[in-house]
Structure 1
Amino acid sequence: AALVRAGQHKKASQELELLAEANRKRKDKGEWGFQEWLHGKTGEAIGNSEPYQAWSAGMYLFAAECVSHQSVPYF
């Protein structure tokens, strides 16, 4: 959202792709983990990270909306 607000739409789109990759990470085998914690260097789910975190999923949807419409709807 911040990149979209700053008019950096290409960078926002690139970062959204990276966020999607991060949200796909799971400790177990499966798809779309939306883990709570990811290692800062490896990007792997770590510790007691729980899958299906609503805030992770919600912010991904918000970011996708911002990139899609090239505007930030609420702020």
Structure 2
Amino acid sequence: MSGDRVSVGTEELWPDDADEDEGYVANWFVREGATVEAGDTLCEIQIEKVSIDAMAPVAGTLVEIVLGEDAEFERGATLAYIEPA
């Protein structure tokens, strides 16, 4: 994969008032290889019973899903990588 990949992380999605440092991936809406636009919803994550949509930070191709559905993760984890268009 190219070194130009952009990561989709959880750090910027974390609620400021969250007591927990763990969450899980509830649902993926986009599959690897799909073309996305900046702002498209990629997946839904759960942190402390709060549902949060992870959006594409750039337009391009979703080249790798790092954490699949039901995967647990810690704050700062990478969910996926996008290769910009």
More helix by share: 1
Normalising to structure 2: TM-score of the pair?
A: 0.24
Structure with bigger RCO (C-alpha 8 Å, 6+ apart): 2
If you compute each CA radius of gyration, which structure gives the higher value, 1 or 2? Answer: 1
More strand by share: 2
Normalising to structure 1: TM-score of the pair?
A: 0.25
